[in-house]
């Protein structure tokens, strides 16, 4: 009987630890920092899980991306500005709820989250669906990886957003 109680307790703990964490209270997006990073009214910076938009400014990551892809910095930053504008129009000044995954912060201290508008719109997915990001999977945060890959594939086939032309940045090395 003790083994059964212990097993049930471990199962309950496992379910609790693996359950998604949602923000209880909606928070407002005060600023779109980049196509995949938001500033919230509670002071948190949120990095959207599973998506990677081009940089909108010339920085170290832009230069690494240019070297990796062979694409010029101007083109990358122009694409980044389009991605940022898409995300800004989608979320800025709107209330959102956050769903956290296993790893809750990145190395910069930003909250890692799946973001949902009050009407249920899944922000991370919408950016991919519109073609303004590529899938970026970082273990252990993989909950929506299959959905994200499907949306990216459809955007690419439909030549949406950044996929409206084939270029080296559209291919992950």
145: domain CATH number? 2.40.50.90
The verdict on residue 49 lying in a domain is yes
The verdict on residue 12 lying in a domain is no
The verdict on residue 70 lying in a domain is yes
Instruction: Please pick, among 55, 63, 85, 166, the residue that the annotation labels catalytic.
Output: 55
Q: What rounded mean pLDDT belongs to the chain?
A: 86
| Catalytic site includes residue 110 | yes
Q: What is the pLDDT of residue 139?
A: 96
The verdict on residue 154 lying in a domain is yes
| Catalytic site includes residue 68 | no
Instruction: Please pick, among 44, 47, 63, 118, the residue that the annotation labels catalytic.
Output: 47
The verdict on residue 106 lying in a domain is yes
Instruction: Please pick, among 88, 97, 110, 156, the residue that the annotation labels catalytic.
Output: 110
The verdict on residue 4 lying in a domain is no
Domains identified in the chain, total number: 1
| Catalytic site includes residue 172 | no
**Percent of the chain whose pLDDT exceeds 70:** 81
The verdict on residue 6 lying in a domain is no
Residue with structure tokens 């956290």? 100
**Tens of pLDDT along 126-164?**
999 999 999 999 999 999 999 999 999 999 999 999 888
Domain assignment of residue 166, given as a range:
20-170
């Amino acid at each position: 009987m003790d083994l059964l109680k212990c097993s049930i307790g471990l199962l309950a703990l496992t379910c609790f630890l693996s359950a998604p964490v949602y923000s209880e209270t909606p928070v407002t997006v005060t600023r779109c920092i980049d196509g995949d990073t938001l500033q919230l009214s509670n002071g948190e910076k949120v990095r959207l899980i599973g998506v990677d938009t081009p940089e909108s400014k010339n920085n170290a990551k832009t230069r690494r991306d240019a070297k990796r892809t062979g694409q010029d910095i101007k083109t990358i930053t122009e694409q980044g500005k389009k991605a940022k504008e898409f995300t800004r129009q989608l979320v800025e000044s709107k209330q959102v709820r956050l769903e956290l995954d296993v790893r809750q912060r990145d190395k910069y201290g930003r909250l890692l989250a799946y973001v949902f508008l009050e009407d249920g719109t899944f922000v991370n997915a919408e950016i991919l669906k519109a073609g303004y990001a590529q899938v970026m999977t970082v273990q252990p945060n993989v909950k929506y990886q299959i959905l994200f890959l499907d949306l990216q594939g459809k955007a690419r086939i439909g030549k949406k957003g950044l996929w409206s032309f084939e270029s080296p940045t559209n291919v992950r090395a």
